[in-house]
Amino acid sequence: SLYIQRRYDDARRSFEQYLRAAPSGSKVPDALLKIGLCHQRAGDDAAANRAFARLRTEHPNSVAARSAGRSGS
- Digit-coded pLDDT (tens) for 14-70: 999 999 999 999 999 999 999 999 999 999 999 999 999 999 999 999 999 999 877
Q: Determine, yes or no, domain membership for 56.
A: yes
- Domain span at 15: 8-70
What integer pLDDT is reported at residue 68 of this predicted model?
86
Residue 2 maps to a domain: no
CATH number at residue 44: 1.25.40.10
Q: Domain for residue 1, yes or no? A: no
| Residue 31: inside a domain | yes
Whole-number Cα distances in Å, 71 to 5, 10, 17, 42 = 19, 20, 23, 14
Domain-embedded: residue 53: yes
Q: Does 27 reside within a domain?
A: yes
Q: What is the pTM of this model?
A: 0.90
Domain contains 32: yes
